[in-house]
Amino acid sequence: MGGEEKCCVVTGGRGFAARHLVLMLIKYDMFTVRIADLGPTINLDPDEENGVLGEALKSGRAHYVSADLRDKSQVLKACQGAEVVFHMAAPDSSINNHQLHYSVNVKGTKNIIDACIELKIKRLIYTSSPSVVFDGVHGILNGDESLPYPAKHNDSYSATKAEGEALVIKANGSNGLLTCCIRPSSIFGPGDKLLVPSLVGAARAGKSKFIIGDGNNMYDFTYVENVAHAHICAERALASEGPVAEKASGQAYFITNMEAFKFWEFVGIILGGLGYERPKIKIPASVMMPIAHMVELLYKILAPYGMKVPQLTPSRIRLLSRSRTFDCSKANERLGYTPIVPLQEGLRRTIEAYQHLKANVRTKRDGPSKAELLLGSGIVADTLLWRDKKKTLAVVLILAAFYFNFIATGYTVITAVSKLLLFASLLLFIHSKLPQKIFGYKFEKIPQSKFNVSEAASHHVALSVASGWNSTISDLKSLCQGNDSALFLKVVVSLLLLSILGAVSLHNAYVVGLSIAFTAFIVYEKKEEEIDNFFLKVVSFGCKVKSDVTSKISSSKKHQ
């Protein structure tokens, strides 16, 4: 560019799309690129070490800085002396954790804005998401930027992204700062660690044959290089003087490949290209939603013990079964954006980049079993999968003692809880009076901090309770309006299940529940493939029966 050396910052610079933007900025020699991310140091992949990025880091055309966006002092240090900030950092969208998303997408974004204003940075480009206008209920066909934010978003990621986007747009013009927001739709391409690996994981588990919904939902996918290109188009538009910058700033823009595609056809092309079975069997989303709610509830219970984020969640079911296409006219007109890589070429490059995940190179089991992943690969998994038999037997004995002392006796709930608290108090009192060493055995004292609830934990609980309450009130409102038959059906089924569970005595629930817990998971681990295949056959048979019944009903109506 000549003249004085200019610097830009890319937050979340080691993320999927951000890596491609960093490479594009280096290749165009537009700025000295400052890569900001959470890691204390930058760890390059083998192909990066000797590639464009590795050379740029050695020559000084790129630098790495460790920064947590939630710490304003770190943000100020990372942005010092920059002319442009590309704010791309965000937590994993598949983790539905409101506190995490709010701290980064809202508070972190506010820190970025404040830093830009204080340091007199000229331009801020924020990576948003089309999900900011998606409510999870209604599909979107050729939506444009006039779509408002919904009253209720599909998940906490979308809700907090919308809040962050609103802050960036509002900041436009503050102390000379020009801003805009990019909404790339369904990013794919080499380096993706979510979409393609998830599809391959499902295929290897025998689940790739299923289509959730009717299979006709349309989607706008965006090849990752086009996303990087859109960010540069936005920066150049804001850098232009006069009416071009004025027209481009303070706006949000949908970015796509401008080639709408059937979602499940796109999935089929990727899976087929890697040698896996393409989706064929259709399962109504209404059938999958109750299962997804149960999986999400299980995750909320076991997440503190290490359970990984499940793929089957209600928000993801909605994403997989609704149409989401967007109009890029505004980005084309005001930013000069047009895709530089066509969709089919993007698909070819993506399939080529994932040859190591092809069906013919799969291993029988290249990681923990699904039973272990379901239980969180921690203490719970070790206990219920009998990895440490002494520990498992100890837990069984403790639970048996609890059963004989508090459940088999026929106590009321209040009496059982009172006696349990009395017993716990007695144990804690005796433990506190014991000397630190008896006959050579050490007795570690329990610190008071173990009984304290941190401010962060209490805040998280309060947010969860408030979120649950608001969600319940919203559902009740929809139910009272009488225009959501699916919600009514879910409420009826839930209440029926609750009434059935309510009829089960505490004695039976305890005995049966523990028996299943200590046998079902270990059986599933040993017979994982057989059980999965049986389940798939049952689901396939159920779908076929439903399809046959539906076609017969339709046929009888036509003859009437």
- Any idea which residues carry the catalytic annotation? 161
Query: Does an H or E element contain 415, and which?
Result: helix 413-433
Give long-range contacts, CB 8 A cutoff, 24+ apart: 532-535.
532/205, 532/206, 533/206
Long-range contacts of 135-142 (CB under 8 A, 24+ apart): 136/315, 136/318, 136/319, 136/322, 137/318, 137/322, 138/322, 139/217, 139/322, 139/323, 139/324, 140/322, 140/323, 140/324, 140/325, 140/326, 141/218, 141/323, 141/325, 142/260, 142/325, 142/326, 142/327
Tokens at 258, concatenated? 């401008």
Q: In what order do the strands lie in the sheet with 218-219?
A: 140-143, 324-326, 218-219, 261-262
* CB within 8 Å of 506: residues ≥ 6 apart: 407, 413
Q: Which amino acid is at 177?
A: L
Cα separation, 384 vs 302, in Å, equals 13
Residue with tokens 């439903």: 546
Side-chain-side CA neighbours of 28 within 13 Å: the count stands at 16
Instruction: Specify whether the CB–CB gap between 34 and 10 falls below 8 A.
Output: yes
Q: Assess contact for 270 and 351: CB atoms under 8 A.
A: yes
- CA-wise closest residue to 156 among 475, 473, 453, 466: 466
Which residues on adjacent β-strands are paired with residue 331? Answer: none
Among 329, 328, 336, CA closest to 238: 336
Q: Which class for 337: exposed (0-12), middle (13-18), buried (19 or more C-beta within 10 A)?
A: buried
